[in-house]
Structure formats: structure tokens, C-alpha cells
Amino acid sequence: MCCVQTCLLSFARLLSIAILPVLQEVQDSADASCEIMRVAISCKGQHSISYTLSRNQTVVVEYTHDKDTDMFQVGRSTESPIDFVVTDTISGSQNNDETQITQSTISRFACRIVCDRSPPYTARIFAAGFDSSKNIFLGEKAAKWKNPDGHMDGLTTNGVLVMHPKGGFTEESKPGVWREISVCGDVYTLRETRSAQQRGKLVENETNVLQDGSLIDLCGATLLWRTADGLFHTPTQKHIEALRQEINAARPQCPVGLNTLAFPSINRKDVVEEKQPWAYLSCGHVHGYHNWGHRSDTEANERECPMCRTIGPYVPLWLGCEAGFYVDAGPPTHAFTPCGHVCSEKSAKYWSQIPLPHGTHAFHAACPFCATQLSGEHNCVKLIFQGPID
């Protein structure tokens, strides 16, 4: 599975909502609280958010339908309210029957995205999603508060983080700053740890509006948001295939064995073929496969390049096949280290600079095609091909 998953609106089911003021606040007793909550959330046609402040204080916010917007929900649950089911990302594309997630950190109803039906079709993201009963519950231990204007707000257990790239999703893009989105869509600085009780500081000059290239992290998977206009300017699958055929037509050769190398077709991206190009990732020299140059008994993948004597990982090269991850249409000249996925120079350098959330408080760059944590001096390397000597 890819680390960054492309979210397209055309895949989602339509459901319209808009927020209304607080419906009830109960402080009299636990019994009264439970009774009013039961009445408030029992209506099958009504959406509501319940904030449990203490054993005998609960605030219920009621939502109603809105003909001008559509709502799309994202989460781990396979229930019908979820439009885009997300599972945990396995590093290195090792998502098989032998790899099991013992306990997912992705919320069953992680977030919701509300889109305007009229141009420019603005999309806004909110933490938490409505369940099959059309309710959202924030328990007593969840971070929650009442804002100065009186409306309630809160955060989900592991949070919903968003990063907007600087300069849009183009070849000039730069990483932005990670923020946390609240249940009501306000923007906050990150908590000390992912599930800390204390919220970050409100960022008043930023909004929850998604942009082309925005990253949405759900603590276990990171989604890439692409707009229709952004995808229109993105390289297509046919373009990537044309680049593959062009580089193969140049007949790159192994500088030692002098055999011709060729990138396998996209349909065979998981099968190492005889003509597969391999590379020393410390220097970028491209070879065919050979079984010499081992420099360590403990590190089986540490090899010495026969061209420059540089020691480092020696891996097969794979052409990155997800067009939505490319920031430009340049030729495949750079490889991520240590996985060996190949893409354009500007795309490789962009993703090499992105600090993706990892666990509860760590960040590291990762290959967008396989989620492998990047390493090396620059997280990627320029490939050095040798052309045919004839």
C-alpha cells in the first residue's frame, strides 16, 4: 500500500450537513443528562455531536441538512457512512497476508470533508466523522473546550493533522507546517504528543480549507488531497509509461557486464526481472544484477561499487507509477534511498523534504510510493546510467 493515498471526490457518497447552535447543556444530574442526550441523538434523521465534560455535564450540538454542501467521510470503519475506507500503511509495501496490524491507530470515523456544490467547490476538513447513528461522541477523556463565543469544540484521540504545501503542488512547492484540525474545523498548533490532553494554540490566520497537495495524516495513514485542476496538470499514467519506454529505448547498459537494462512494465512492478536495473544508492551508478562486492558479513546489502569504490546499499530500481505524486513531468532521473523507487528530480527532492508524522511524536521523510523511511545524505540520489558503447 502507498504511504500517501490519493483521495478523489468521485469515489465518495453524498450526504449534506451544516452546523447549528448548541442544542442542550445538562448539569442537573447524570440521569437527566442521559435522558436528554438520548432524546437529542435518537432521531435517525438528525446529526449531533456529544461532548461529555464530566459524569453529570454533557453538551449536545445538533446539525441539520444543508442543500449547498456535500459531506464525505474518511475512516477505518467499513460501515456505510464512511465513503473512503483507510487502512494502516505498511512500510515497504509489505502489505500481505503475513503482515497484520495488531491494533490500528486510525479512528473508525476519522474525519469528514465538506465541499461546496458551487464554484470554486471549496473543500473544508473537520476532525471526527458521524457514525451509523449519525452521531459523534467525544468522551470525558477527549480534549474538549468551550470557545469564548460559546460554541463547543474538541480533538479526537490521535488527532487529524493537515499540512498545506507552500506554493501549491507544483515543481516549486516547499513543505508547509503541520497543524491539527478540531472537530469544528479550527486550526491549532500540534499537541506535545499525538494524544495529549492539552490542545495546541489556536492559529487564527489559517483555515481548514484544503488545497491542491494538502496532506492529511490520520495517525497510521497519510492522504494526499488533489483538486480537479491540479490533476489536470499532473502527468498521466500514459506519460509515465512513455517515459519508461523512452529510457528503455536508450538501451542503458551495465558498465561491468555490458548487458542491456530495462525497467519492467508497470503491471510487473513487484517482480524483479533479469534485465532489471540495479543501483548503488550511495553514488547512483546503475548496473545489472551481480553477486559480488559484499563488504560486510552482517549487512548483506552493503556493497562496493565497482565504478567508484563507494560502499552503500545496492537495490533494484522501480519506476514510481502513481502519477498523482509527481509535482512535474520531468524524466525519471532520481531514486529514493533506500527503497530504489525512481521519479523525476523535482518530485524526488520535494518528497525528500516532507516530514511525515510517524507514531505519536516523531516525523521523518518517506517514499510516497512504498512508505519506506528515507535515509542517506539527501534521502535521494541522482542515477548515473551508461549508454550503449556501440
**pLDDT tens digits along 355-372:** 999 877 789 999 999 999
> Rounded to whole angstroms, how far apart are CA atoms 36 and 26?
8
pLDDT of residue 5: 40
C-beta separation of 41 from 50 below 8 A: yes
- The percentage of residues in the chain with a pLDDT greater than 70, rounded to a whole number, is 82
pTM: 0.85
pLDDT of residue 295: 65
DSSP string, 276-328: --EEETTT-BEE---S--B--SS-TTEEE-TTT--EEEEEE-EE---GGG-SS
Mean pLDDT of 25-52: 60
> Rounded to whole angstroms, how far apart are CA atoms 294 and 279?
14
Select the more confidently predicted residue: 153 or 99. Answer: 153
Mean pLDDT of 372-386: 93
356: helix, strand or coil:
strand
pLDDT of residue 89: 82
Could you tell me which of 178, 191, 213, 109 has the C-alpha nearest to residue 357?
178
What lies within 8 Å, CB to CB, of 312 at 6+ separation is 280, 281, 282, 283, 302, 303, 305, 376
Mean pLDDT of 242-270: 87
Q: Which amino acid is at 144?
A: K
Instruction: Give per-residue pLDDT as tens, 279-336.
Output: 999 999 999 998 876 766 556 678 889 989 998 899 999 999 899 999 999 999 999 9
Q: Would you say residue 30 has pLDDT above 60? A: no
**Ramachandran angles phi, psi of 325, nearest 5°:** -90, -10
Question: What are residue 381's DSSP bridge partners?
Answer: 335
Could you tell me which of 79, 76, 69, 73 has the C-alpha nearest to residue 105?
76
pLDDT of residue 38: 56
- How do the domains of the chain map onto residue ranges? 4-232, 237-382
Mean pLDDT of 140-159: 91
Least confident among 79-88, 95-104, 314-323: 95-104
What lies within 8 Å, CB to CB, of 63 at 6+ separation is 17, 18, 19, 20, 46, 47, 48, 49
Mean pLDDT of 81-91: 90
Mean pLDDT of 336-350: 96
> Rounded to whole angstroms, how far apart are CA atoms 250 and 244?
10
Whether omega before 165 lies within 30 degrees of 0, making that bond cis, reads no
Instruction: Give per-residue pLDDT as tens, 169-222.
Output: 999 999 999 999 999 999 999 999 998 989 999 999 999 999 999 999 999 999
Residue 141: which pLDDT band, with cuts at 50, 70 and 90? confident
pLDDT of residue 360: 74
Could you tell me which of 59, 53, 54 has the C-alpha nearest to residue 40?
59
Q: Would you say residue 84 has pLDDT above 90? A: yes
C-beta separation of 39 from 26 below 8 A: no
Could you tell me which of 124, 149, 157 has the C-alpha nearest to residue 22?
149
